[in-house]
Amino acid sequence: MLTSRARRSAAATLALAAAAVLGSATATTTAVATPAQMPEPSPADTARTELADLNVAAPHSMAGYSRAKFPHWIQQGDGCDTREVVLERDGRNVAQDDKCRATGGSWHSLYDGKTLASASQVDIDHMVPLANAWRSGADRWETPRRKQFANDLAHSQLIAVSAASNRSKGDQSPDQWSPPDRAYWCTYSRAWVDVKHLYDLSVTQPEADQLVTMLNTCD
């Protein structure tokens, strides 16, 4: 059996390999006590340039949308799926059972500042929600690209947050919902822009305007 750290390394290797083709015994181990480790998005100045490059357009129709068209959570190795990998990555002192399920640990939700003592209180948020991506251009993708988007461990697309904040956000863009903890606006806007730029997704004008406001909190 792999240790938690080995699982993390293997998952990262798989994620990086998937990103390269984007265009086309009982594991009750304890992880190193580190803060959330969502991959760091581009610096603010780079994010501003990326934002300026994005196509500003009206949202596409939701006709035909289904979360099932974005297969998740997929297996990432040693029986761990994407959710379990992010729970282990973003938590502190996370213990897992022989099926990779988190049985202990704590998580700090950067959206609202809450500390969570049970994995049942934690959701894995898609920084750019699946439905928003659909309205922004993912309606034209093939299934493999949607699958990569929904399970992207190599970029700032997945983060463990409180279930309450994730469900409050839903599929809304930053002009409709922004993290209650404004101290996170800088990272949130950088991550949102980074993901949209990476996947060549569009933004609406109100969305772009709010992202400018949020990026200005980085100064």
Average confidence (pLDDT) over 169-177: 98
**6 pLDDT more than 90:** no
What's the chain look like in SS3? Answer: CCCHHHHHHHHHHHHHHHHHCCCCCCCCCECCCCCCCCCCCCCHHHHHHHHHHCCECCCCCCCCCCHHHCCCCCECCCCCEHHHHHHHHHCEEEEECCCCCEEEEEEECCCCCCEECCHHHEEEEECCCHHHHHHHCHHHCCHHHHHHHHCCCCCCCEEEEEHHHHHHHCCCCCCCCCCCCHHHHHHHHHHHHHHHHHCCCCECHHHHHHHHHHHHHHC
Average confidence (pLDDT) over 185-194: 98
Q: What rounded mean pLDDT belongs to the chain?
A: 87
Select the more confidently predicted residue: 78 or 198. Answer: 198
Domain extent listing, the chain: 4-218
Average confidence (pLDDT) over 37-55: 96
pLDDT for position 36? 53
